[in-house]
């Protein structure tokens, strides 16, 4: 046998034995898939963090729902401008909200978040009910070009006990838009996956916004029911009843992914809250 080939086989065999011995010792300390427990997700609430001013809402809806005085074209626009000021553009009517979670990891290894599904229904018991659902695909730290956009298989689960994107197919679209996730107070939201430490807790905030045009169409019913108040320049109360539910997926690497559902939680967002977020 060639001496070089013999030597290379010896070195390969030595490295294989050494590597396998180290790997087996390491793997012996890792839990088996059956020993992994899904993290505990406590949904702590949904907070409205940005909306137009009361005056802005009234100025926006007044020309749409108040009839022209005496049938004069443009009369309603002039009347509303005198009562509430210039009508804002739809882009200035942004509404954003945060979902707050406390996540506890009972396992002996750290577990990062992988995907988040949120389904939000506004006016869930009313005639102007509207629902939006969005899936976020989180990225490893430092990954370039991370936008949170999911692949076609994201936020899906085989178990019927877990809420999947397919359960909210009618809500898929642009009504709800994901802005990012933050694992520390005061940090700007990004799409980088936060990691829950071994046997640790983590407070997580996920920010979303409503597409202005879609939400404004829903809120127009509120304004339509308050025509007399708008005609007389009186304040109209704009409130958004909501229901939130969904699922968070955690990534345990080769041991698999673990979905944990949350909600539904219901409440009411009272507008406005302008100034809580910078423009």
Give residue-wise pLDDT tens across range 188-206: 889 999 999 999 999 999 9
More confident call, 29 vs 129: 129
Q: Are 50 and 13 contained in the same domain?
A: no
Q: Is the pLDDT of residue 237 over 90?
A: no
Of 251, 209, 252, 235, the C-alpha closest to 96 is 209
Of 270, 240, 237, 233, the C-alpha closest to 66 is 233
Q: Are 1 and 100 contained in the same domain?
A: no
In a domain, 129, yes or no: yes
In a domain, 73, yes or no: no
At 53, list the tokens.
């001013």
d(CA 129, CA 93): 20
In a domain, 60, yes or no: no
End-to-end Cα distance, the chain: 76
Mean pLDDT of 84-106: 93
Q: Are 19 and 109 contained in the same domain?
A: no
Of 42, 186, 45, the C-alpha closest to 105 is 42
In a domain, 82, yes or no: no
Q: How confident is the model at residue 185 (pLDDT cuts 50, 70, 90)?
A: low
Q: Provide the CATH number for the domain around residue 246.
A: 2.60.40.10
In a domain, 202, yes or no: yes
Of 270, 222, 213, 212, the C-alpha closest to 65 is 222
Q: Are 133 and 228 contained in the same domain?
A: yes
Q: Are 114 and 230 contained in the same domain?
A: yes
Q: Are 12 and 136 contained in the same domain?
A: no
Q: Are 224 and 257 contained in the same domain?
A: yes
Q: Are 196 and 218 contained in the same domain?
A: yes
Q: Are 3 and 102 contained in the same domain?
A: no
In a domain, 138, yes or no: yes
pLDDT value, residue 242: 94
d(CA 274, CA 279): 9
Q: 20 lies in which domain range?
A: 1-30
Q: Are 154 and 172 contained in the same domain?
A: yes
Q: Are 114 and 161 contained in the same domain?
A: yes
* Tally of domains within the chain: 2
In a domain, 174, yes or no: yes
Q: Is the pLDDT of residue 17 over 60?
A: no
Q: Are 108 and 227 contained in the same domain?
A: yes
pLDDT digits (tens, 9 = 90+) for 80-92: 999 999 999 988 8
In a domain, 80, yes or no: no
């Amino acid at each position: 046998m060639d001496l070089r080939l013999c030597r290379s086989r010896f070195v390969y065999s030595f490295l294989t034995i050494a590597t396998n011995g180290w790997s087996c010792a390491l793997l012996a300390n890792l839990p088996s898939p059956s020993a992994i427990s899904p993290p505990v997700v406590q949904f702590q609430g949904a907070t409205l963090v940005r909306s137009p001013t009361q005056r802005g809402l009234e100025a926006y809806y007044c020309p749409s729902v108040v009839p022209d005085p005496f049938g004069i074209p443009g009369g309603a626009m002039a009347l509303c401008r005198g009562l509430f000021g210039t009508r804002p553009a739809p882009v200035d009517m942004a509404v954003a909200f945060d979902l707050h979670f406390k996540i506890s990891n009972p396992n002996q290894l750290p577990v990062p978040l992988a995907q988040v599904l949120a389904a939000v229904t506004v006016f869930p018991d009313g005639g102007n009910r509207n629902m939006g659902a969005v899936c976020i695909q989180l990225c490893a730290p430092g990954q370039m070009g991370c936008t949170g956009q999911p692949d076609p298989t994201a936020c899906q689960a085989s178990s019927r006990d877990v809420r999947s994107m397919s359960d909210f197919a009618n809500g898929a679209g642009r009504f709800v838009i994901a802005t990012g996730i933050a694992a520390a107070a005061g940090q700007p939201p990004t799409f980088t996956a936060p990691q829950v430490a071994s046997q640790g807790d983590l407070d997580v905030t996920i920010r979303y916004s409503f597409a202005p045009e879609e939400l404004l169409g829903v809120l127009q019913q509120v304004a339509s029911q308050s025509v007399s108040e708008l005609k007389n320049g009186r304040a109209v109360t704009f409130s958004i009843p909501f229901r939130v539910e969904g699922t968070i997926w955690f990534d345990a690497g080769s041991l698999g992914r673990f979905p944990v559902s949350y909600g539904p939680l219901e409440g009411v967002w009272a507008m406005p809250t302008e100034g809580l977020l910078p423009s």
